[in-house]
Amino acid sequence: LLGFVARSIFKGIPSSELAWSIWYNGILSGYNTHIRNVSGNTFELTATGFLDTYARNPAEWYFRTEAALYGTKRGFATGIREGVQHFVHGGGIIGRTDTEKFGAVSALEQKRFAGGKINPYNYVKYAGRILAFEDTVNFHTAYEMKSTVVAAEMAAAEGLTGEAAEKRQTELLNRTD
C-alpha cells in the first residue's frame, strides 16, 4: 500500500522517505513532545548560556549577563520571525543548512497536495513544522546570546569599558568594521 501511495501521489519520492516522514510527523504530533522539546531547549539555553557565562568569569558576571540578556532578546525575535516563516510556508530555515531533523527534508514538504484544506496530508506537515518552529526559536536565541557574550568579552579584552565597549560589541556583532 505504501509503495502504491508513493508511486501515485509522491512520484519520485522513495517509499522509505515517505514512511519515515509519516512516522516522524506522527510521533511529533503529541503535546507531550512539544512540552519536552520546549522544556529541554529552555534548560539547555539556561545551562549552557547563563551558567557557562558565570562559570567562565564570576567577577564580571553582571556585565556578561547583561550582554547575554541582550543577545537573548535579539535571537528570540529573529527566531520567532524565521520560525513563523517556516511554519506557514515550509521549506528551509534561513541560516540553517538543514530543514528537518537529521538533515532530511520531509517527503511531506516536497509535495503540495491537491484538495487544499480538505486533504489530511496538508495537516500532517504541521506536526514537523511546529517542532521546527520551536527549534528555530531556540537556535537563534542561543546563537545570538552566545555571540553577544563573546563580543562583550572581546571588547573587554581590548580594554574597553562603558559606551566604548558597547560600541565595539555592536561593531563585532554587526560586522561594521
The whole-number pLDDT of residue 90 equals: 72
Residue 177 per-residue DSSP state? -
Nearest Cα neighbor of 25 from 102, 151, 110, 126 is 126
The whole-number pLDDT of residue 102 equals: 42
The whole-number pLDDT of residue 103 equals: 44
The whole-number pLDDT of residue 104 equals: 47
The whole-number pLDDT of residue 35 equals: 84
What cell was used for 87?
511554519
CB–CB of 92/162 below 8 Å? no
In whole angstroms, give the CA distance from residue 95 to residue 105.
16
Helices (H) and strands (E) in the chain, counts: 7, 0
Q: Rounded to the nearest 10 degrees, how much is the dihedral formed by the CA atoms of 27, 31, 36, 42?
A: 130
The whole-number pLDDT of residue 100 equals: 46
The whole-number pLDDT of residue 34 equals: 78
The whole-number pLDDT of residue 7 equals: 56
The whole-number pLDDT of residue 9 equals: 58
The whole-number pLDDT of residue 98 equals: 45
CA distances to 59, 94, 122 from 119, rounded to whole Å, are: 59, 28, 6
The whole-number pLDDT of residue 99 equals: 44
What cell was used for 6?
508513493
Nearest Cα neighbor of 125 from 108, 143, 107, 148 is 108
The whole-number pLDDT of residue 97 equals: 44
Per-residue model confidence as pLDDT tens for the chain (177 residues): 555 555 555 666 676 776 777 777 777 667 787 788 888 888 888 777 777 767 766 766 666 788 888 888 999 999 899 888 878 877 655 555 444 444 445 666 666 667 767 777 677 777 778 888 888 888 888 888 888 888 988 998 899 988 998 899 889 988 655
The whole-number pLDDT of residue 10 equals: 60
CB–CB of 29/108 below 8 Å? no
